[in-house]
Amino acid sequence: MSGKNSETRRVRGDHCLNVFVSYELKEQLKTLAKKYDRTTSDMVRAVLRIGIPMMEGLSAAEEIMVREYISLFRKLRQVKSLKEI
């Protein structure tokens, strides 16, 4: 690893994350930060802290929904094949 990369890693650390967002989202974050007298970084951290559990919940619900839908589809297909006999 070059000297410059190790210096950057030491200054920022491995916990740093660069995210590219739309101009509109950035403006919303800046507006919220200004409204509640916080930094934009604080707002981003708060949104991530709140959003991650919500995303986990949505993903789990989606998995259950797909699983149930497949199960229901299989049952309906079996019923249809029984009616044809």
- Structural domain count, the chain: 1
Instruction: Kindly state the average pLDDT of the residues 66-79.
Output: 90
Which residues, 6 or more positions from 32, have their beta carbon under 8 angstroms from its beta carbon? 38, 43
- What average pLDDT is seen over the chain? 87
- Predicted TM-score of the model (pTM): 0.60
* % of the chain at pLDDT higher than 90: 62
Instruction: Kindly state the average pLDDT of the residues 2-28.
Output: 79
Q: Is the pLDDT of residue 3 over 90?
A: no
Query: Domain residues for 38?
Result: 3-84
Instruction: Kindly state the average pLDDT of the residues 33-58.
Output: 95
33-64 per-residue burial string, b: 16 or more CB within 10 A, e: under 16 = beeeeeeeeebbeeeeeeeeeeeeeeeeeeee
| pLDDT confidence band for 17 (50 / 70 / 90) | confident
Q: Is the pLDDT of residue 1 over 60?
A: no
Cα–Cα nearest to 16, from 7, 27, 8 = 8
